[in-house]
Amino acid sequence: MIRPLAGMARVGLRFQLAYRSDVIMTVLALIAQVFLLRMVWTSVYGGAGQARGLTLEALLAYLSLANLQAFATTPIIPLIAHFRIRTGMVFFDLSRPTGYLPQMAAFQAGHTLGGLLMLAPAVPVVLLVGTITPTAQPLGYAATLTLGYVISVMMSLLICVIGFWTLETGAISLLYRLISQFFAGTMVPLSFFPGALGVLAEALPFKYMGYVPAAIYVGHLSGGQVVQAMIVEVSWIAGLAVLLWAVWRRAHRRVVINGG
Amino acid sequence: MAEIARALRLYWVLQRATMRGALQYRLNTVISVVTGAVYQGSGFAFVWVVMHTFPSMGGWSLREIAFLYGLRLTAHALCMLPLSSLIGLEWLVREGELDRVLLRPLNPLVQVMTKRMGMGQVGDLLTGVVLLIVAAPPWNLAMIGFCVPAVVGGALVEASFHLSLSSLSLRMLDTRALRGFLDDVFSKFGSYPMSVFGGVTQWVLTFVLPVAFVAYMPASVLLDKTGSLNVPALVAYGSPLLGVALFALAYRVWERQLRHYQSSGT
């Protein structure tokens, strides 16, 4: 069980490293994004010491982290599944003795690892631009981020499976990416979201991929809030596991293999 | 002149045909338009959320920034609607498809431009025009007379970078990722008042990569804010001309590179 999955992870890793020039440009775009956010937020803060409980320094550190996290955790598997369902190659994935969902999850894990390797040279630049200092809550940060990553992978697995019905997940996965990044709080911390938008952002699970870990890192969330976040994350994972299992049981019975 | 008129007429005919082709996939068309609009809308949602707490950004109000955003987005859509086919130029070169284009008696660029129709850009255009109309100050004839060339000029500035970089792929240089990055920079930095950046960044975005000319300068003219520019007001009034000049230059680069095209032989 473990060996084939390690193989899939290796494929994911190589896939990421194969498109180096694309990744370099994506990393440059990431640096430009953090730079832009820094400029915009510094300008609007002006002389204000604090807004919504965040100093400018804490906010800039938050934004750098949230963007690094978003870059590293953006899922690739909906795109892979989209391509393989459209060309009929999903047949090969399904005929392997290892389950389809574990294969995809392993591929994603390898791909993320590759992304972290590519990201390594950019980290010092982003940290410098975003002025980040060590955190007082390393354990809470690592734990909430890891659980957030698991939620992110499970959500993208769900999109892959939806492809078995719609046969077309390109636009859905792009929409998912836009919506998840916005509600993860990569450009604005959730504490700034007004009214109903704030309530919605708090209720959705996307905040665990960006806002929650980054806010814990800079000390905006602490103590009981960290424990509470972890409990809710574990509940999300359990709920998504049940949902995935139920959807998958129906999905693989209605597989369509495109020929050609 | 007659040749340009013929090329434009044929462009219109061919582009209409590709559009009809794209419209056959109705659901895909709707999803593409919606995705384009959501993509651009989420960028503006950021500005809206920030300005909910902070009413002024670099001396501009939310409504003024919405107008700037709309102006840039409309220019961007106007640039990418005809040029979105350039995204596939690398593929045309690698597969030797460009040989066929060169054999036909019509301007090669017109033929490449009409290969496909980007439906996502229709979503960009819708969002841009809506923002432009909703956030605009009361219109008068002089403003309309400046706004139309300003949007076209802004589109041409962006188009000139896309065209000149794309033409390098005729020499087997893959510039797709670089073009994507530049597009990102134009989109992200072009939608804010340059006073937000200040100093070196503003200088670079004005004189090295002329992002400021796409929408910021024309918007400053239309909103009567030329006093805070880092160039004389006259330059801002003349900003649409830069697009024309840069595009003429870019077209020269394209023609030059086309002469050096060697078929891949496939």
- Which amino acid appears at position B124 of this protein? D
The per-residue pLDDT for A212 is 94
Residue A260 pLDDT greater than 60, yes or no? no
Nearest to B184 by CA among A63, A33, A184: A33
Per the CB < 8 A criterion, the answer to whether B243 and B155 are in contact is yes
Which chain A residues are within 8 Å of B177, Cβ to Cβ? 21-22, 24-25
The per-residue pLDDT for B251 is 93
| Mean pLDDT confidence for A104-124 | 82
Residue A258: band (very low, low, confident or very high) from pLDDT cuts 50, 70, 90: low
Nearest-by-Cβ selection for A182 from B45, B58, B174: B45
Residue B109 pLDDT greater than 70, yes or no? yes
Buried b (16+ CB within 10 A) or exposed e, A75-98: bbbbbbbbebbeeeebeebeeeeb
Q: Does A62 touch chain B (CB under 8 A)?
A: no
Residue A161: band (very low, low, confident or very high) from pLDDT cuts 50, 70, 90: confident
DSSP character string of chain B? -HHHHHHHHHHHHHHHHHHHHHHTSHHHHHHHHHHHHHHHHHHHHHHHHHHHH-S-BTTB-HHHHHHHHHHHHHHHHHHHHHHGGGGGHHHHHHTTHHHHHHHSSS-HHHHHHTS---SHHHHHHHHHHHHHHHHPPPP-HHHHHHHHHHHHHHHHHHHHHHHHHHHGGGGT---HHHHHHHHHHHHHHHTS-GGGT-HHHHHIIIIIS-HHHHTHHHHHHHTT-GGG-SS-HHHHHTHHHHHHHHHHHHHHHHHHHHHT------
Provide the mean pLDDT of chain A. Answer: 84
Taking residue A15's Cβ as centre, other Cβ atoms within 10 Å add up to: 15
The per-residue pLDDT for A256 is 65
Pairs across A and B, CB distance < 8 A: 78
The per-residue pLDDT for A259 is 62
The per-residue pLDDT for A167 is 63
Residue A25 pLDDT greater than 90, yes or no? no
Q: How far apart are CA B211 and CA B205, in angstroms?
A: 5
A98 found inside a domain: yes
Structure tokens at A205: 């699970």
Q: Which residues of B touch A (CB under 8 A)?
A: 28, 31-32, 34-35, 38-39, 42, 45-46, 49-54, 56-58, 174, 177-178, 180-181, 184-185, 188-189, 192, 195-198, 201
Segment (H or E) for A51: strand A50-51
A27 vs A126: which has the higher pLDDT: A27
Nearest to B115 by CA among B162, B78, B93, B83: B83
Which chain A residues are within 8 Å of B57, Cβ to Cβ? 40, 43-44
Q: Does A167 touch chain B (CB under 8 A)?
A: no
A260 found inside a domain: no
Residue A1: band (very low, low, confident or very high) from pLDDT cuts 50, 70, 90: low
A119 found inside a domain: yes
As for how many domains chain A has, the answer is: 1
Q: Does A199 touch chain B (CB under 8 A)?
A: no
Q: Computed from CA positions of residues A24, A30, A34, A39, in that sequence, does the dihedral angle turn out positive or negative?
A: positive
Q: Is A50 helix (H, G, I), strand (E, B) or coil?
A: strand
Structure tokens at A43: 């300008």
Taking residue B109's Cβ as centre, other Cβ atoms within 10 Å add up to: 22
The per-residue pLDDT for B1 is 78
User: Which domain does B15 fall in, by range?
Assistant: 2-259
Q: Render pLDDT for A167-224 as a digit per residue (tens, 0 to 9).
A: 666 677 778 888 888 899 988 999 899 889 999 999 999 999 899 999 999 888 888 8
How many Å is the Cα radius of gyration of chain A?
A: 19
Residue B53 pLDDT greater than 80, yes or no? yes
Place of tokens 């814990």: A216
The per-residue pLDDT for A232 is 95
A259 found inside a domain: no
Residue A79 pLDDT greater than 90, yes or no? no
Q: How far apart are CA B196 and CA B199, in angstroms?
A: 10
Which chain A residues are within 8 Å of B56, Cβ to Cβ? 44
A94 vs B188: which has the higher pLDDT: B188
Q: Render pLDDT for B190-206 as a digit per residue (tens, 0 to 9).
A: 899 998 887 898 899 98
Q: How far is B43 from chain A (nearest CA, A)?
A: 9
The per-residue pLDDT for A169 is 65
User: Which domain does A39 fall in, by range?
Assistant: 2-254
Q: Does A18 touch chain B (CB under 8 A)?
A: no
Question: Residue A54's beta-bridge partner residues?
Answer: A51
A85 found inside a domain: yes
Taking residue B200's Cβ as centre, other Cβ atoms within 10 Å add up to: 8
Residue % of chain B over a pLDDT of 70: 99
Residue A228: band (very low, low, confident or very high) from pLDDT cuts 50, 70, 90: very high
Residue % of chain B over a pLDDT of 90: 33
B266 found inside a domain: no
Residue B249: band (very low, low, confident or very high) from pLDDT cuts 50, 70, 90: very high
Q: Render pLDDT for B71-80 as a digit per residue (tens, 0 to 9).
A: 999 999 999 9
Segment (H or E) for A55: strand A54-55
> A9-18, B133-142, B179-188: which range is least confident on average?
A9-18
Nearest-by-Cβ selection for A171 from B32, B174, B201: B32
Residue A129: band (very low, low, confident or very high) from pLDDT cuts 50, 70, 90: low
Residue B22: band (very low, low, confident or very high) from pLDDT cuts 50, 70, 90: confident
Segment (H or E) for A54: strand A54-55
Q: How far are the Cα atoms of A106, A116, A169, B207 from residue A23, in angstroms, in the given order?
A: 20, 11, 23, 28
Residue B265 pLDDT greater than 90, yes or no? no
Residue % of chain A over a pLDDT of 90: 23
The per-residue pLDDT for A75 is 83
Q: How far apart are CA A162 and CA A247, in angstroms?
A: 8
The per-residue pLDDT for B70 is 94
Which residue of A27, A44, A175, A180 to mutate against B (max B Cβ within 10 Å)? A44
Nearest to A64 by CA among A37, A42, A45: A37
Residue B108 pLDDT greater than 90, yes or no? no
Q: CB distance A32–B53 less than 8 Å? A: no
Q: CB distance A192–B45 less than 8 Å? A: no
Q: State the alpha helices, DSSP H only, in chain A.
A: 2-18, 20-45, 56-73, 77-87, 90-95, 100-119, 122-130, 138-166, 170-184, 195-203, 211-217, 224-251
B265 found inside a domain: no
Direct distance between the N- and C-terminal alpha carbons of chain B, in angstroms, rounded to an integer? 36
| Mean pLDDT confidence for A103-117 | 86
As for how many domains chain B has, the answer is: 1
Q: How far are the Cα atoms of A77, A103, A123, A249, B112 from residue A106, in angstroms, in the given order?
A: 10, 5, 25, 20, 40
Q: Does A53 touch chain B (CB under 8 A)?
A: no
DSSP character string of A144-165? HHHHHHHHHHHHHHHHHHHHHH
Buried b (16+ CB within 10 A) or exposed e, B240-252: bebbeebbeebbe
Q: How far apart are CA A32 and CA A39, in angstroms?
A: 11
Q: How far apart are CA B218 and CA B245, in angstroms?
A: 17
Q: CB distance B50–A22 less than 8 Å? A: no
The per-residue pLDDT for B67 is 94
Residue A119 pLDDT greater than 80, yes or no? no
Closest residue in B to A190 (Cα) is B49
Q: Does A255 touch chain B (CB under 8 A)?
A: no
Phi and psi at residue A50, to the nearest 5°? -145, 145
Q: How far apart are CA A97 and CA B211, in angstroms?
A: 54
Which chain A residues are within 8 Å of B53, Cβ to Cβ? 44, 51-52, 192
The per-residue pLDDT for A204 is 93
Structure tokens at B183: 């597009």
B47 vs A53: which has the higher pLDDT: B47
Q: How far apart are CA A209 and CA A73, in angstroms?
A: 8
Structure tokens at A206: 């996307």
Closest residue in A to B120 (Cα) is A171
The per-residue pLDDT for A58 is 86
